[in-house]
Amino acid sequence: MAARHGMFMVARGIFQYVEGGDLARFIGYPSADFGVLDYLVLNHLAIIVRGDAVGFDICLNAQDFDAKNVAAVADYLAHTPSLIQVRIRMFLGGWLTESFLDVEEAIARLRMIGDGALHAPEARLRMAERDPDEPCAGTDGLRRLWQAHRGRFSSDFMDDALGQGILDRTFVLEPGPRDGWLVRYMGSGIGTFENWQQVGRPLATEQTDRLYTEWVSRHYESALASGGGRYDHVDAVISTTSRLPTRVRYRRRLLPFASLKGKPLVVGYSALSGDLALPL
């Protein structure tokens, strides 16, 4: 089967090439506008796909769909060699994006959707608390740095985090006397709320999902009091400035630190993951 490069709408099981302003901006493009895309996916059961020489992006409604469209995309992937990455942006309680370096895993996910095996979570906020000593390739880098620096937060720690490639999803929080937790650092890879990138701002503001921030704040308090930190699997549907919620699934490690002046801090790392102890 010939590779499909460009953007296509899949309707009634047929790939139709599309082009133009809003549809041309898809996952990975700067200032992506999902308005028209989301309308087609959510209201007309279409699937929007975009392919290039190395990857394939898929946007679909995993709650209400035409099984013919899902099967057509899965069959296309099964007969297209040399794809390096597949990304699926699906609506399932909220907009959730998963990346697959194994095409077979992406096909399996599509088959699950087509079979009606996936359902929106009944609870917005779910967490599975894990043993802090449980190995986790995605978050163990932070624990090793915590041990190497003996729980002291400094510029040397930040330099080492950068050198080990974990700074983009590292965050640093300080308990405040009046405004709750304050953001001291938020990695560029954590884009849930734009104002979290502003150092010194409270974690909870009018622009953030207060239910979510109050929930995670309790986890930070627990990590600070524990002495040894905590490790969790998290599945959260979060209200943002977008019209529809965002869903994030990640492995998170939280560790107690102290500044060079002795101020208590919590340093965390979250690794997006589709492999959690919480069913999709």
pLDDT in tens, 120-156: 999 999 999 999 999 999 999 999 999 999 999 999 9
Class of domain 125-272: alpha beta
Average pLDDT over residues 26-44: 61
- Kindly state the tokens that stand for 116: 């009606």
Domain boundaries along the sequence of the chain: 6-114, 125-272
- Report which listed range, 20-24, 28-32, 45-49, is most confident: 45-49
Strands 47-51 and 6-11: antiparallel
Find the angle CA(204)-CA(233)-CA(217) to the nearest 5 degrees: 20
pLDDT at residue 166 tops 50: yes
Relative to beta strand 181-186, strand 230-238 is: unpaired
Q: Which of 177, 176, 206 is nearest to 194 (CA)?
A: 206
Q: Which residues pair with 153 in a beta bridge?
A: 259
How many C-beta neighbours within 10 Å does residue 159 have?
Answer: 11
Name the token pair of 95: 């907009």
* pLDDT value of position 41: 84
Condensed to tens digits (0 to 9), the pLDDT of residues 233-263 reads 999 999 887 778 999 999 999 999 999 999 9
Find the range with the poorest average confidence among 8-17, 188-197, 235-244: 188-197
